[in-house]
Chains A and B, each alone.
Chain A
Amino acid sequence: MSSHAVPGRPSIWGLLAEFERPENLVAAAARAREAGYRKMDAYTPFPIHGLSEALGFRPTKLPFVVLAGGLIGGVTALGMMWYSATIHYPLNVAGRPLASWPMFIPITFELTVLFAALSAVFGMLGMNGLPMPYHPVFNAPRFALASRDRFFLCIEGRDTLFDMETTRAFLSGLGAREVVEVEE
């Protein structure tokens, strides 16, 4: 990225192409990937079917994070109750078994769900790198429309094929309404 720095001007983070319709964006993303671009991302006002595939994203690992969170929650709950009921504070109630596990199930279930839900949310935010107060793409003048009604494709400067002129021509050729430089 620093290779594109021009003295006295901020360096360029990438080129942002604006589309008016989601299907154009998906088609453009697929074409860009065919052309060999890898370091790119799209910005859309709602999740779009087929876009992750067009951009070549791998399936997210989030379900495993959630599974691990749920298991930790369940084991923690059951372990805590078992430890307190049999080791730390055994209480003989009419000769009933100390490790009366069926009575431990409701809390085990609740804590499994709680830990899994927390892992889903914090896992998603963490993998996405949020909160992120600053991101170069916000420098693009019309980028606020990405949360309203416009669809953007960004080819980033760190892509090996990135070249200011050819990439700009390529994006314009995809039917973009406008292609702008995104400052670092």
Chain B
Amino acid sequence: MSREAADRGRTGPPVIEPGHTYASVTDKISSIVLARRTPLFWILGFFLSFLVVMALLAAISWLLARGLGIWGINQPVEWAFDIINFVWWIGIGHAGTLISAILLLMRQEWRTSINRFAEAMTLFAVACAGLFPLLHLGRPWLAYWLIPYPNTMALWPQWRSPLVWDVFAISTYGIVSFLFWFVGLIPDLATLRDRARRKGFQILYGMLAMGWRGSALHWHRYDMAYLLLAGLATPLVISVHTVVSFDFAVSIIPGWHSTIFPPYFVAGAIYAGFAMVLLLAIPLRVVYGLEDFITLRHLQNMAKILLATGLIVGYGYVMEVFMAWYSANPYEEFMIANRMRGPYAPIYWSLMLCNIVAPQSLWFRRVRSSPPALFGIAIIVSIGMWLERFMIVVTSLHRDFLPSSWGMYSPTIWEWTTFIGTIGLFLALMFLFIRFLPMISIFEMRTLVPAAGPLAKQPVPDESVAGEAT
């Protein structure tokens, strides 16, 4: 694998364009943040996404005023957009952790220029995801009942419920993602502190950098902390989507009660997440002129991951059909037949088109090297993954064991507003992030500069560190 990667490195595009120095890397990335003039597209983009956030607030206010009845959920489909969007957003977040933690441990140094904004993407996606189960509680102001604390009701959470596991998994994931992101930011905040010209920003970045001075002794511990965080985040990210899939798999509903769910969900999460990273990276590198740092090599590698995880997801779809037949369980067989030919059949077939057929074009190098084509495929995959969640949630619930309790589900305008509103929230947060924080890790980019040579130390397990860790 590494030899193959090295071979490709000789022939393919580089991870950083030649000619850069420590200073040029530092100046280029920090100038995006420290520039006095805010670019016009930023103002426009932020304004538009802010409008959508206002729509989200309106939808939430109306929900709190009137209750869950304004949504289309009812028996037998008691879960719909709230859980679909929750799973979709959480999945998107997973690519950020994969890039920052798993690729770090695997010494994939191309991750360096995309890890920072992918981590930010994770944080914001988790924030959007968290809204949905909270709102679905009906009385969100009692959400703290989910946390174990000594209370006068003498009640505890139900430890055997996957929904309670979810609370712990998602909060842990949110906190650890934030820690990982912030620890990575500390040296860059120090750079911004030292380079800011305006007093206010010097103080702001200075406080956030906490007095970081690049001491070798500090780097020594910093490397270890970063490495350990990566080692902790790796099993965590796998566990989070596994627990999310338990929300379904632990129940006995046909189409949910399946052992393939954990790996199938994790692969789907990474699939959706890399699509979102591509959706963000492709416009960002153009508008900020970052093609030197986010090169075609990055886009090609992400396209390959997209293809690989897409194939795993495709395997999941095939296995669902196979197991329905092989189990000889009439309810499972009916569930698949209903997905393929029932009232929601268009969802099923568009999902197959989006998630299995469209990504096959990534086998061709020409497609992998074309940013517009990748952007298009990433949009298709994002839609496909959303449809997949819709299929899993709605088609399994709406016709289960008793035909007398069958029903149909369709979302109301409030569900759509809430969903689109979270996309606006996500974009608004991303816009704020790229304006006020370095979207590419400056200190890690310095290690990619050719002059740094073999002395540059990526915080990856090297001999001395590995010896210590064991």
**A interface residues (Cβ-Cβ under 8 A, vs B):** 21-23, 26, 29, 41-53, 55, 57, 59-60, 62-63, 66, 80-81, 84-85, 88-89, 93, 100, 103-104, 106-107, 109-111, 113-114, 116-118, 120-121, 123-125, 127-128, 130-135, 137-138, 143-149
Contact = CB atoms under 8 A, between A and B. Distances in A.
Interface stretch (B158-166, B362-370, B399-407): B158-166
27 contacts: A21-B451, A23-B453, A29-B216, A43-B213, A44-B214, A46-B446, A46-B452, A49-B455, A52-B220, A52-B464, A59-B464, A107-B165, A109-B239, A113-B176, A113-B232, A113-B235, A114-B171, A114-B175, A118-B175, A120-B179, A124-B183, A130-B211, A138-B213, A147-B190, A148-B23, A148-B191, A149-B446
Q: Which of A46, A57, A118: most chain B Cβ within 10 A?
A: A46
A134 B195 CA distance: 18
A134 B23 CA distance: 25
B201 interface: no
B215 A42 contact: yes
B155 interface: yes
B236 A60 contact: no
B183 A121 contact: yes
Nearest to A26: B455
A86 to B, nearest CB: 11
B324 interface: no
Given A89-B154, A107-B165, A50 B469 contact: no
Contact of A118 (B156, B179, B220, B235): B179
A52 B216 contact: yes
B22 A107 contact: no
Contact of A117 (B224, B229, B469): B229
B204 interface: no
A59 B465 CA distance: 8
Contacts of B459: 47
B79 interface: no
Contact of A45 (B154, B446, B453, B457): B446
Q: Which of A29, A85, A109, A121: most chain B Cβ within 10 A?
A: A121
A46 B447 contact: yes
Contact of B194 (A93, A100, A144): A144
B168 interface: yes
B217 A22 contact: no
Contacts of B457: 46-49
Q: Which of A26, A44, A116: most chain B Cβ within 10 A?
A: A44
Interface string B211-238: 1111111111111110011001101100
A131 B172 contact: no
Contact of B228 (A26, A47, A120): A120
Interface string B160-200: 10101100110110011001101100010011011100000
A130 B210 contact: yes
Nearest to A58: B220
Please classify how large the interface on chain B is, using the bins under 10, 10 to 19, 20 to 34, 35 or more.
Answer: 35 or more
A60 B223 CA distance: 10
B466 to A, nearest CB: 11
B293 interface: no
B26 interface: yes
Given A66-B228, A120-B229, A147-B190, A60 B210 contact: no
B39 to A, nearest CB: 24
Contact of A130 (B169, B175, B212): B212
A45 B26 contact: yes
A67 B204 CA distance: 34
B220 A60 contact: yes
A143 B215 CA distance: 12
Contact of A62 (B190, B213, B215, B224): B224
A143 B195 CA distance: 11
B443 interface: yes
Contacts of A46: 187, 219, 443-444, 446-447, 452, 456-457
The 10 closest A-B pairs by CB, nearest first: A131-B210, A149-B22, A124-B225, A132-B211, A144-B194, A42-B216, A49-B457, A106-B165, A147-B191, A47-B219
B456 A148 contact: no
B224 A48 contact: no
A20 to B, nearest CB: 10
Interface string B67-90: 000000000000000000000000
A84 B219 CA distance: 43
A59 B468 contact: yes
